[in-house]
Amino acid sequence: MKLKLPKKKVITANASILRRILAFLMDLLIINFIILRPFRNVLLKLMPGGSFNEAYSYLLSNQNSNAVLFFITLMISLLTMLYFVILQYKLNQTVGMMLFNLYLEPKEIKFWQALVRNLFIIPIFPFFLLWVLDPVHILFNKEGQRFTEKLSNTKVVQVYEVVR
């Protein structure tokens, strides 16, 4: 006797903004532990505690600290960029995306596509403008794509399993 079990059908659709935000926040939490934590002690020694004005005055008067701070910022940005680019290129998703069942389309992206979609991580002009442009673009784009996703011809999709 054969059992007639319902068949599963997999459907992909544009990922919800809420899931995308939650996945990104999970990625930021992971980055905080694996990338930022090792630099924390150096940064605390470099920057005085207290107000913004104290820190700003200290940086203006200590050019050596500025160079070290710039180098550390560059290293953090590079490592963060590598986290997103390598995971998206090799696995088609980051750890945060895995937790929320999100994937990139097309299924196999090229390295340049992974790089372009993560340009917002670079904290220098003009790339930091993407911090505003990307989220605004999601709101006004029918496909729910960030600006850098449009440039890289990629999008984030959610996978649903439907039982028939």
Convert the pLDDT of each residue in 64-117 to its tens digit.
777 778 888 888 999 999 999 999 999 999 999 999 999 999 999 999 999 999
pTM (2 decimals)?
Answer: 0.81
**43 vs 109: CA distance, rounded Å:** 36
H or E, element range at 48: none
Count of C-beta atoms within a 10 Å radius of residue 3? 4
**For 108-132, what is each residue's pLDDT tens digit?**
999 999 999 998 888 878 888 888 8
Report the Cα–Cα distance between both ends of the chain, in Å, rounded.
Answer: 21
- The mean pLDDT of 139-164, rounded to a whole number, is 86
Give me the pLDDT at residue 143, please.
82
Those residues with Cβ within 8 angstroms of residue 65's Cβ, 6 or more apart along the chain or in another chain:
46, 47, 58, 59
Structure-token pair, residue 135: 């989220």
